[in-house]
Amino acid sequence: MKTPNKAEQRADLMAANIETIRPRFGAETPLPSPEIVRRALVESLNSRTGRLLANAPTIAKKPLGHVFHKLFTWHGSGGNLWGIAMLGWQCEDVVKTLGLDITGRELQDQLDTLAIVSRGGKSSASAAWRAALGE
């Protein structure tokens, strides 16, 4: 039996944590399935350290990790609109490539929620946009 690497261990732990808090969010909150959570995390974490990769993995090799990494880092940024808009198109391709039973928009919403939850509910990008819109 293969020993799980640090990325797999951390992804398993985070996926289990998501499942324990899922009931608190309610059915209308777009959280991804446990399989998508685990795969997105494994693909976006360093296998030796279990930390987020310095750069997003390529979409061709690790599609869910690519999208999750981009969303996670976007929420820690000032909120560049082009970055988030491009992900919408990429999510459509990811859904087709992986044969998922959801739309690209649903995948983006689910991974976006996962990114915010992974950041402890904080998003400097969202805060910057709220301030820019006068909210």
pTM greater than 0.85 (yes/no): yes
Cα-Cα-Cα-Cα torsion 68, 125, 92, 59, nearest 10 degrees, comes to -40
Residue boundaries of the structural domains of the chain: 6-125
How would DSSP label each residue in 67-121?
HHHHHHHHHTSS--HHHHHHHHHHHHHHHHHHT-SS-HHHHHHHHHHHHHHHTTT
The structure tokens listed for 49 are 């350290």
Residue-wise pLDDT tens digits, 63-88: 999 999 999 999 998 888 777 888 88
Name the nearest CA neighbour of 19 among 41, 49, 51: 41
Residue-wise pLDDT tens digits, 101-114: 999 999 999 999 99
